[in-house]
Homo-oligomer: A and B are copies of this chain.
Amino acid sequence: MENLNASKAPLRRLRLGIIGGGEGSVIGRTHRAAALIDGRYDIVAGAFDIDPERGQRFARSLFVPEDRIYPDHRALIDGEAARNDGVDLVAVLTPNTTHYEIARDLVNAGQNVLCEKPLTTATKEAIELVRLSEERDLIFAVNYGYSGYPMVRHAKAMVAAGELGKIRVVQTEFAFGNPTTMTEDTTGHWRTKSTGAGPSAVVGMTGTHAIHLASFIIGSELAELSSDFTTFVPGRELEDNANINLRFEDGARGSLWASYVAAGANHGLRIRIHGEKAGLEWNQENPNDLAVMYPGGDKRILTRGNSQLHPAAKRATRIVTGQPEGFLEAVANIYTDVADVIDSRIQGFAPDPLALAYPNIRDGARGVRFVDAAVESAQRNGAWTSAGLDFPAS
């Protein structure tokens, strides 16, 4: 029961190092909770801040051993390489524009990585990381954390089992609305500037999650898109609202709405998928439920923990139905997937195929490509633009 998700009991807790995510970081807190909740990892090393002193202070508050508190990612790589008990996995939680360099160095040092999204801020860099990582056969996860929710896993399993029939329409959105003016803009301006966020603001921050979610569930990649970008809040450099029409490789159509100006919306990640035989709807703000609708009017609400769910959902579930799990548990499921795969390598057995559901580096690269394509289409006044990506032979 404890090692619910492993094919074989782990020999030990895994050793986790963290780059970034220091004092005041929401994403840092999220990753630590996700790594710790199942007792699969110890946080043993870190370079938590661009300011080494502040990072050291923060590391001490986490009780990281003094000799494994590092000033930067290079020092961490070197220090851990020199130990017998070096880290098994490094989480990269730094600002977007630094992902590429840090991830490249980690990969070149043969390190397994769990990187925040976006993988990089340019497609070319992303492709290079795919090549480097796959050449070394490393584990490289990208934290599209919403795909860790049990009911998302169930939705994917339903589609894969043909329960919806051929998929026709995918409607998705990730639109929130705090703050809605520049003065209220307490989430930090860097997310709305090209120097901080790269070529896109809201599409790169929220839209890419929605697209990953869509492809994850329907099992088909985005083929092309037509986007309309707007900047509503005066003083912002990049788009804060985007309406994007979608065409998937398997013929499904749909749309994405990504927004920072959906005034009053708390979070706003939602997806609806309709196939020939049935439709489904999932809303991240009530993630324990999944609605499945059938022609004729039969609408069913499935709930995490229900006995009739697919194994992929059950595997990602800790507690009984009706006692909700949340976002931290979703991200924890990504960490647990990765732990299972790392552990299977340590012990030399084949990993549980269900553990391979974690978003990997190819998913990360596709996400970068999607953002680039959306920017390009918007610049061309909505001309349909390919979002496809040719990977190196693996």
Binding site for B on A (CB under 8 A): 1-3, 9, 12-13, 23-26, 29-30, 32-33, 36-39, 43, 58, 61-63, 164-165, 168-169, 171, 173, 175-181, 184, 226, 228, 230, 232, 241, 243, 245-247, 253-255, 257, 259, 261-269, 272, 274-279, 284-288, 292-303, 305-308, 318-329, 381-384
CB-based contact B263/A178 at 8 Å: no
Cβ-closest chain B residue relative to A302: B297
Most buried by B among A32, A228, A295: A295
Q: How far is the CB of A385 from chain B (nearest CB, A)?
A: 11
Q: How far is the CB of A257 from chain B (nearest CB, A)?
A: 6
CB-based contact A327/B327 at 8 Å: no
Residues of B within 8 A of A255 (CB): 243, 245, 255, 257
Given A169-B262, A263-B275, A323-B267, A296:B178 Cβ within 8 A: yes
Of the A-B pairs whose beta carbons lie under 8 Å apart in the complex, a sample of 20, sorted by A's number, is: A2-B61, A33-B38, A36-B39, A169-B175, A171-B257, A177-B293, A177-B295, A228-B253, A243-B246, A263-B275, A263-B279, A264-B279, A265-B279, A284-B322, A285-B322, A285-B324, A287-B324, A299-B302, A324-B324, A325-B328
CB-based contact A308/B319 at 8 Å: no
Given A33-B37, A257-B255, A266:B303 Cβ within 8 A: yes
Q: How far is the CB of A150 from chain B (nearest CB, A)?
A: 11
Q: How far is the CB of A220 from chain B (nearest CB, A)?
A: 15
Residues of B within 8 A of A176 (CB): 322
Residues of B within 8 A of A263 (CB): 164-165, 168, 274-279, 293-295
Copies of this chain held together in the complex:
4
Contact of A179 among B243, B265, B272, B295 (CB under 8 A): B295
Residues of B within 8 A of A259 (CB): 169, 274
Residues of B within 8 A of A228 (CB): 226, 245, 247, 253
* Assembly CA distance A272 to B241 (angstroms): 14
Smallest CB-CB A-B distances: 3 pairs: A267-B322, A264-B293, A297-B306
CB-based contact B300/A300 at 8 Å: yes
* Assembly CA distance A383 to B266 (angstroms): 33
Residues of B within 8 A of A265 (CB): 274, 279, 293, 322
Given A36-B37, A307-B297, A9:B169 Cβ within 8 A: no
* Assembly CA distance A68 to B262 (angstroms): 54
Residues of B within 8 A of A264 (CB): 274, 278-279, 292-295, 297-299
* Assembly CA distance A298 to B302 (angstroms): 6
Cβ-closest chain B residue relative to A244: B245
CB-based contact B308/A303 at 8 Å: no
Given A169-B261, A286-B324, A180:B3 Cβ within 8 A: no
